[in-house]
Structures are given as C-alpha cells and as structure tokens.
Amino acid sequence: MPQSPSKSKTPNASGQKAVVIGAGIIGVNVALALQDKGYDVTILDRGEPGMGASFGNAGGIAVTECAPIAMPGTLMNVPGWLMDPLGPLSVRWGYLPKMLPWLLRFLAASSKSRVEQIATELAALLNRAWDDYDPVIAKAGLADAVFKKEGAMAVYRSDASRRKDDYASDLRRRNGIKIRDLTRAEVRDLEPDLAPIFSCGVMEEDWGRVLDPYKIVMGLYKCFLDQGGKFETAEVTDFVYRDGKPRAAMTTSGDQITFDTVVVACGAWSKTLAKRLGSPVPLDTERGYNTTVPYHDAKLSRMVICADDSFVMTPMEMGIRVGGAVELGGLTAAPNYDRAKALFAKGKEVLPKLNGDGGTEWMGFRPSMPDSKPVISKSPNHQNVFFAFGHGHLGLTMGATTGRLISDLMSGEETPINMTPYRINRF
C-alpha cells in the first residue's frame, strides 16, 4: 500500500535549502524532483557530474530485471565462478575478508521465498520507470533523440541453457513483465550479424536503451542548472550538528555547506556517509568492465544479452559497447582490464564482425546491496536526512522513479508505492 503522509509534511518548500550529495544519474534525478517541490537545491560531488558509474554503464533501461542477482542455486555456482579469475563473478582475494559479511547476506537472499519477495518489490519500482521518466525527459528536452524503447533480446546457445532460466522468466511474467520466446530463425532475423550459434532467445519487450548514458546525465544536469540549481565540487567527509540535527556538510577542504535537508546519493561512496549519519548499511561495490568500439562492419539494432556468458552488447551513439560480469574488490584496487579483454573476446565470438580498432576500456563501480534492492529511504535517526543509493545494475533504469519517491518522502506527501522494502535499516 502507499505510504501515509508523514507528520513532518512540508506544505511549501520554497526557500528551503536541500543538498544532494552525488551528481550521477540518481543524484541529478533527485535534484530535479526536489526543484519541482520548490526546494533550493545544491548538488555536491567529489568529481565532475556524470563521471562515475553513470558515464560508462551498459545503457539499458532494464525494466524487466526484477529477478535479483542472487537466485536459487547461486550457492552451488559460486565455487566454479570464483575459480575462474575472468569469469562472470570474481573476488579480489585480499578483499574477501571485508566482503564476507556482504556475501553471506547475498547468499541468504537467494532462497526461493526471499527471491519471490524481492522480485515483487523490485517490480514495484521497475514497472514505474517509463511513466516516471516521461515528464523528466520532456522537461530536459531529451525525448527520442537519446532514448530508444525497442526491447532487448537475450540469446541462448542451447535449449537446455534456456530451460535453466525458466524460473526467472516465470518470475518476471508473474510480476507483470512482458517477455516473448524466440526461435533460432527469429533470432537470426532480428540480428543477422550474430554468429549462427544460438538455438533460441527471449525478447524482453519493454526494455529500452540510451544512446549515451553520459549525455543523459548531462542533459538532466543542464536542466537542473537552467532552473536555478547549483553545483559544487566537494568531497563530503562528515556533518556538523546543531540542535541535535545535521545542519551542514563538512568537506575535505574544511568548508561547511549548510542545508535544511540532505540526500546521500553518491553511489558506492554512500556507505561511509550513511554510517556518519547513524545508519550503517551493507553496501558494497560490484566493479563492472566494458569495451566500446567505433562502428566498423558489425551491426546491432538493439541491446543483446548473451545469457550463457553473462555479458551484454549495446549499440550506442559512439559505437558498440561490450560489458558485464562482476568483480568484488572494493573502491581502491587498480582495475584489472584483462576482464574487459576477456569480455570483448566473447563479444567477437558472438558478433564475428566486431572490430576492436579504436576501442576504449572502462571500469566503474556499481553500488550494490546484497538483496539487489536499492535504498530509497528517510533516515530513522534524523527527520532532515534521506538516502538514495545501492541501485546496483539498475541506477539508470530507476533514476526518475527514485527522484520522484525521495521528493515525496521529503515533502511528506503520499508515495505511490509502499516504501518499507527499501528502507535503510531493513537489515
């Protein structure tokens, strides 16, 4: 059920100062939504807007992805994955002791009962994605120039591998997701440049993509500035309290940036700030890799998900992006671009005309919760503190919905869905 209005409802936010910490797709969407409620908004970020995970992600508006990362049977697969340093899941062994509590919660979330519940809770967010994005896209003047809603195709090398995903497909269908099975011939007709190695596929019909994730963030960011928003490059390390409430963000340069309300939305870096605000949270980072190559001979008309090898290929404005997999290694270890090379080699096997000339490799940090659900929450400790992070692989998809929900929570209005599943203190 929708959440009831809060007693701290703000009938008119005009003149109230809101600080949003984080200038990625989540932070910028939150900032825009708060402007609509009348807040005077400043975004703070340790780097330039849109240069984190929002810059180099796979570009999918993945509204069908209500199945969590941890699924029944995950525990049996983990040992094999971990023995392959370039496989779909790897762990930097030096980071394993720090990662172990997250991994244990991740495995606990893979029971069938938990998966069923999580899928329903993710679907409640994902089913809103396009409706919440439409007004944001229109306001920023982005429209169809950068958003494409044409579905994504998952492909399988054998009927047996497709059957392994029967439960996930059924889970999606039961949560309102439209998917359609494809024959070998239909796969070939839809994407003739793919190698003739796939026996079947699935069309995820409501899936969309963007032509350049960075341009999406920057388009929304420009709209924010045009509406009077402000941005400061600042790394927040702590908070200054007055009358028992956080009232200013303290930066590494010693500045104190005052606010009436604050939203922590800085992706994988949110964990430390949440703890400073009295809300420790099991957030960690999945390091994702990709390679983007200019167009040569290979052609794709939509996003292709290679289910057997756990990677995706996305046709973008600047070329074809090949990426995926998960490396658990924290925020400080140097990138291992052998993972990007391994993914690209798989891409060439699947799309033989793919040409690596002029390609660029990238690594980014997906801020991930062990139960695959984001934190979209007011603080249990402070009435003027809110959290928006932990979207994992779905930050771009859930950006506008997160902005809408945070703005409703902050202004004390009724939310369109029950927010209990996404609270920061659910663990």
Question: What are the tens digits of pLDDT across the range 183-232?
Answer: 999 999 999 999 999 999 999 999 999 999 999 999 999 999 999 999 99
For residues 408 and 5, give the distance between their C-alpha atoms in angstroms, rounded to a whole number: 9
**pLDDT at 145 (0 to 100):** 62
CA torsion, ordered 180, 181, 183, 186, to nearest 10 deg? 20
For residues 131 and 5, which has the higher predicted lDDT (pLDDT)? 131
Of the pLDDT bands very low, low, confident and very high (cuts 50, 70, 90), residue 7 is very low
Of the pLDDT bands very low, low, confident and very high (cuts 50, 70, 90), residue 237 is very high
**pLDDT at 326 (0 to 100):** 82
**pLDDT at 86 (0 to 100):** 65
**pLDDT at 405 (0 to 100):** 98
Q: Which amino acid is at 38?
A: G
For residues 168 and 145, give the distance between their C-alpha atoms in angstroms, rounded to a whole number: 32
For residues 350 and 346, give the distance between their C-alpha atoms in angstroms, rounded to a whole number: 6
What integer is the mean pLDDT of 362-372? 95
Contact assessment for residue 37 and residue 407, using Cβ atoms and an 8 Å cutoff: yes
Q: What percent of the chain has pLDDT over 90?
A: 84
**pLDDT at 85 (0 to 100):** 64
In the predicted model, is pLDDT for residue 8 greater than 70? no
Residue 259 per-residue DSSP state? -
What integer is the mean pLDDT of 150-167? 96
**pLDDT at 51 (0 to 100):** 93
Of the pLDDT bands very low, low, confident and very high (cuts 50, 70, 90), residue 401 is very high
Kindly provide the residue ranges of all beta strands, DSSP E only, lying in 294-359, ordered along the sequence.
303-306, 311-316, 319-328
Please, where in the chain does CATH 3.30.9.10 lie? 67-110+146-208+283-368
Of the pLDDT bands very low, low, confident and very high (cuts 50, 70, 90), residue 11 is very low
In the predicted model, is pLDDT for residue 2 greater than 50? no
Please, where in the chain does CATH 3.50.50.60 lie? 1-66+111-145+209-281+370-427
What integer is the mean pLDDT of 96-109? 91
> In CATH terms, is domain 67-110+146-208+283-368 a member of 3.30.9.10?
yes
What integer is the mean pLDDT of 159-178? 95
In the predicted model, is pLDDT for residue 30 greater than 80? yes
Average pLDDT, the chain: 92
Kindly provide the residue ranges of all beta strands, DSSP E only, lying in 216-373, ordered along the sequence.
230-233, 236-242, 245-251, 256-258, 261-264, 284-293, 303-306, 311-316, 319-328, 360-368
In the predicted model, is pLDDT for residue 314 greater than 70? yes
Q: What is the pTM of this model?
A: 0.94
In the predicted model, is pLDDT for residue 262 greater than 90? yes
**pLDDT at 6 (0 to 100):** 39
> In degrees rounded to 5, what are phi and psi of residue 379?
-75, 140
In the predicted model, is pLDDT for residue 15 greater than 90? no
Within 8 A by CB and 6+ apart from 175, the residues are 66, 119, 120, 123, 127
In the predicted model, is pLDDT for residue 39 greater than 90? yes
In the predicted model, is pLDDT for residue 268 greater than 80? yes
In the predicted model, is pLDDT for residue 10 greater than 50? no
| Across 31-45, 77-91, 351-365, least confident range | 77-91
Contact assessment for residue 18 and residue 249, using Cβ atoms and an 8 Å cutoff: no
Within 8 A by CB and 6+ apart from 359, the residues are 291, 292, 293, 294, 319, 344
Of the pLDDT bands very low, low, confident and very high (cuts 50, 70, 90), residue 182 is very high
Helices 395-411 & 25-36, crossing angle to 10 degrees? 30
H or E element, residue 348: helix 338-350
What integer is the mean pLDDT of 99-112? 93
Q: Give the SS3 label for residue 267.
A: helix
Cα–Cα distances (Å) from 102 to 277, 281, 337, 363, in that order, read 20, 10, 24, 21
**pLDDT at 12 (0 to 100):** 56
Superfamily of domain 1-66+111-145+209-281+370-427: FAD/NAD(P)-binding domain (3.50.50.60)
In the predicted model, is pLDDT for residue 134 greater than 90? yes
